[in-house]
Amino acid sequence: MGASLVKFVRGGASVAVCVLTRGEAGTFGTAEQREQEMRVAAEKLGSELEILSFQDCRIFDTFETRLRLAEVVRKFRPKIVFAPYHTNPSYHKDGGAHPDHTATGTIVRSAVRYARFSGLKDAKGEPWNADHLIYYMVPRSRMPNLLNDVSAFMTEWEAIARCHESQMSLRDGKVLDGLRRFRESYGNLLGVSHAEGFFIEEPVIFDLASFLRTSSQPGGVPAAVKGTV
């Protein structure tokens, strides 16, 4: 959902990125290097950055991880929480979902609730009730039900993605190609050049104005929605 973050921030939204591990079990890069890359990327994006210190490959849905993430929710008080999709009905080869990603989605689902339980004294901070929970890293076996046109933000997204230098060697150096093509295929569905897919599990509130402003037809996304919030 990187390019959407760019779009949100450039459109005036305030964004905080929470990272659970430093990816130290990956093939490329050390923990220190990757933390440094994250900091550069967040600065370029213009978001806040919260790095938790869970260990790579060891993210599991426990009381403690739920609590820790509930505290992050209580700290930033977001209207919308985004998380990687919580189960892996088939696979994510293309999108690279790691067991830590799906575990994170599962934990966030509970953490968002825990954040609002005022009786839950184990979690620091004031109770906070986020308005929406939306998933990214939608499994390829399931159609996103929200598509965000990010065509106008791909260049900037790529510049930010390149901050993660140590990861640029992945897939024979073609990791960005894969990510770009992924966004092209979702863009194809909207008739725009690039889009990112999301999945929301609750019914969306019907917003007539929003439907009147947009189009589900190929070629039908007006300029106003394409590039600005």
Binding segment for its own copies (CB under 8 A), chosen from 35-43, 44-52, 133-141, 154-162, is 133-141
Q: Is 136 in the site for its own copies (CB under 8 A)?
A: no
Binding segment for its own copies (CB under 8 A), chosen from 19-27, 43-51, 157-165, is 19-27
For the residues of 125-154, what is the DSSP string, one character each? S-----SEEEEES--TTS--SEEEE-GGGH
DSSP state letter for 96: T
Q: Is 216 in the site for its own copies (CB under 8 A)?
A: yes
Minimum Å gap between C-beta 39 and its own copies is: 21
Binding segment for its own copies (CB under 8 A), chosen from 35-43, 46-54, 137-145, 155-163, is 137-145
| Closer to its own copies by Cβ: residue 51 or 200 | 200
Question: How far is 75 from 54, CA to CA, in rounded Å?
Answer: 18
Q: Is 159 in the site for its own copies (CB under 8 A)?
A: no
Q: Which residues, in sequence order, are bridge partners of residue 196?
A: 148
Minimum Å gap between C-beta 112 and its own copies is: 10
Q: Which of 126, 173, 219, 223 binds its own copies (CB under 8 A)?
A: 219
Q: Is 207 in the site for its own copies (CB under 8 A)?
A: yes
Q: Of residues 42-81, which lie at the interface with its own copies (CB under 8 A)?
A: 56-58, 60-63, 66, 79-80
Q: Which of 11, 32, 39, 53 binds its own copies (CB under 8 A)?
A: 11
Q: Which of 21, 65, 104, 148 binds its own copies (CB under 8 A)?
A: 148
| Closer to its own copies by Cβ: residue 89 or 155 | 89
Q: What angle do CA 137, 150, 21 make, to 5 degrees?
A: 35
Q: Is 185 in the site for its own copies (CB under 8 A)?
A: yes
Question: How far is 112 from 70, CA to CA, in rounded Å?
Answer: 6
| Closer to its own copies by Cβ: residue 141 or 155 | 141
Closest CA to 80 of 160, 198, 161, 210: 198
Question: How far is 96 from 75, CA to CA, in rounded Å?
Answer: 29
Closest CA to 175 of 92, 57, 96: 96
Q: To which residue do tokens 């509930």 refer?
A: 70
Q: Is 84 in the site for its own copies (CB under 8 A)?
A: no
Distances (CA, A) of 54 to 25, 60, 62, 140: 12, 10, 12, 27
